[in-house]
Structure 1
Amino acid sequence: MDFLFVSWLGTPAWFWLAFAAIVLLLTAFDLGVLHKEDREMGISESLKLSLFYIAVAMLFGGWVWWAKGSASGMEYFTGYFIEKALSIDNVFVISMIFGFFAIAPKYQYRALLWGILAVIVLRALMIAGGAALIAQAYWVMYLFAAFLIATGVKMLVSADHDPDIGNNPVIHWISRHMRVTKAHHGAHFFVKEPDASGRMVRAATPLFLALVVINLADLVFAVDSVPAIFSITTDTFIVYTSNIMAILGLRALYFALAAMVHRFHYLKYALALVLVFIGGKILIADFALGGAKFPPLISLGVTLALIAGGVGWSLWKTRGEAQAGA
């Protein structure tokens, strides 16, 4: 059993195995118990399930705090809340994607599930690559910082502009190189249908196209979120676990937020300021503080304050819409 205590990326192997077991159990519970059949999830169920995932993430963070120390625990919670906040912006884009492809709500959860499973693998590759770059050349962190600041400024300038999903080049490429059905086929990603000669051929459905675009959107968001968490800590275990714990509850939170997406307009500005703050924090720590570590408690406090301010201001500015809806 000595291999359980072998250090892997700076953390004992049994830490990684314990985390993998938690992810597998949550996914099995979600698929095998909660969603054996395709059905629409209500806002109440969405909120309850999201609270369950948040509770699991908090308990895991408490374990990290106890097992790896208070500094690692604080870094985990900071990374978790940053990723959770950035994931909210991702929800808005996912809602637009499902709307564009006219995916029925009862089949959206299936696409979200497969999308998140792909995210678990893709984020692992991106985080491993980022960790390897930083280990070889620390100056990469300055590139991350500049990128985060530039992205935050761009978000501030273009927060009022929604992405043009219809002109996505990947959709055009798939449509040119793969047969795509015009009709929906329930929860199926591929079906067989007759071609011009009457021969049965395999064709992708709009649900598959939605899944592809959702994964591409997550890659775009990962380019922001992964450097953001590396600015908090270079501990690969903390970076990956906080990232995945935040994403696991995304599919549960989606249905509650998608119903209120119009009420969170100003949150985008808050998220942009979070990115600018995180990027600037790297430069402050290395140049203004002489290489001293930026206090994790201040990072967490500023991040939560900006997000809370964005949420509160959005709800206040759109309170008339809520009354009209009621």
Structure 2
Amino acid sequence: MHTLAPLWLWFVFAAVVLAALFIDFVVLKKQGAHAVSVPEAARWSALWVALSLAFNGLLWWAFHQSQGAEVGQAKAVEFLTGYLIEKSLAVDNIFVFLMIFTYFSVPPAYQKRVLMIGIIGAMVLRTVMILLGGWLISEFHWVLYLFGAFLLLTGIKMWWAAGEEPSLDDNPAHKLLKRVLPVSPRFDGESFWTMHNGVRMATPLLMVVALVGITDVIFAVDSIPAIYAITDDPFIVLTSNILAILGLRAMYFLLAAMAAKFHLLSYGLAVILVFIGSKMLLVDFVKIPVWASLVAVIGILAVTMVWSVKTAPSIGPSRTAGIDKA
């Protein structure tokens, strides 16, 4: 693995992430447990996107100064493309979170804490997977073909599964957790453990946190190979991925309120995965420019979202409606 990013830019990135997490946790603690409104989620989402774009501007300037204008522009486009791909794939992640919260009837006031813990876990996990993936690609070029085939098959599977009601009833991870964790029948505030009939038990909130963490692992397996189709620079891969995750909590509350309007989005994500997987499989035969990938991702998302809004039912169940509560 090799990157042209100057060392000071790594430190700036680390400082930005730590500051963002500190602010988020301080605000979370100050506000206490409360339901996040759509306007509040929209403001935080706009803040995280603005922060990511500002960092991309700094990234462009840093590479422009050290490597020249052409490299600076190329790296900035790589970052933006990777960031959009990670944001796009996070959408399906969010719908699964929504399903988990609905299944366990998690009060909206408690969902913030679960998502914050999930984000911290996802950042650590993805950092490890990004470094491991970068090492594999640098040592074994053929791994790109495995990643490409995996994304292609995942995209096809996602297309066929789009529109189906998800359920946790047959989920292997859910069944395993229920066997190994004695779970109380009710929540105890934001606590993960409680006493029930004289026995110390996990609360449903701990089960939710565990399932959110497992979901992060599953989706990281999709998203990490996807961004390596855009660039093999570990700095671009890591920064675009982590900054996309930082805004996941706010984006969840924003999209959860509009889930029914974007009912076709899974089809768009499936097409994106098929496109990226095909690009990886053809990497040694057809060179698709990064800007072309950026245009393709934006175009697919735009068409899918517009078509979803045009065909959204005025009254209808969300993607999680009809799920039995635990």
TM-score over 0.5 (shorter chain): yes
Contact 1:266 1:313 in 2 (8 A): yes
Q: CA deviation at 1:70?
A: 1.1
Deviation, 1:129, is 1.0
Equivalent residue, structure 2, for 1:168: 171
| Letter of the 1:13 counterpart | L
Shift of 1:120: 0.6
The change in CA–CA distance for 1:178 and 1:282 in structure 2 (over 3 A counts) is closer
What are the superposed Cα offsets for residues 93-146 of structure 1, whole Å, 9 maximum, x if unpaired?
100100001100000000000000000100011111101110111110011111
Secondary structure class of the residue paired with 2:182: coil
2:100 is the counterpart of 1:97: yes
CA distance in 1, matches of 2:182, 2:175: 12
Q: What is the Cα-based RMSD across aligned positions, in Å?
A: 1.8
Q: Which amino acid aligns with 1:254?
A: Y
Contact 1:145 1:282 (C-alpha < 8 Å) held by counterparts = yes
TM-score, scaled relative to structure 1? 0.90
Q: State the one-letter code of the partner of 1:169.
A: P
Separation (CA, whole Å) in 1 of partners of 2:172 and 2:156: 25
1:30 is matched with which residue: 3, 24, 30?
24
Secondary structure at 2:201 match in 1: strand
* Structure 2 counterpart of 1:186: 189
Kindly indicate whether residue 38 of structure 2 is the aligned counterpart of residue 43 of structure 1.
Answer: yes
For 1:247-266, what aligned pairs fall within 5 Å after superposition?
A: 247-266=245-264
> Which of residues 206, 209, 212 in structure 2 aligns to 1:211?
209
Deviation readout 1:280-324 (Å, 9 max, x if unpaired): 12233411x3xxx421111100000001111111011016349xx
Structure 1, unmatched stretches of 5+, are 1-6, 196-200
1:177 aligns with: 180
Q: Distance in 1 between matches of 2:176 and 2:152?
A: 32
Write out aligned runs for 1:201-240 (5 A).
201-240=199-238
Would you say the 8 A contact 2:184–2:202 is kept in 1? yes
Task: Indicate yes or no: 2:86 matched with 1:83.
Answer: yes
Superposition deviation, residue 74 in structure 1: 0.6
Of 119, 132, 137, the match for 1:134: 137
Are positions 1:73 and 2:68 aligned together?
A: no
Count of aligned pairs: 307
- Per-residue CA deviations over 1:256-284 (Å, capped at 9, x if unaligned) read 21011111111110110001111112233
How far 1:27 moved relative to its partner? Answer: 1.1
- Superposition deviation, residue 34 in structure 1: 5.0
TM-fit CA distance, 1:220 = 1.2
Q: Aligned equivalents of 1:31 and 1:229: distance in 2? A: 28
Q: Deviations over 1:228-273 (max 9, x none)?
A: 0000001111111101111110101111210111111111101100
2:130–2:234 CA contact under 8 A, matched in 1: yes
How far is 1:35 from its partner? Answer: 4.5
Name the % identity.
Answer: 43
Residues 1:275 and 2:273 aligned together: yes
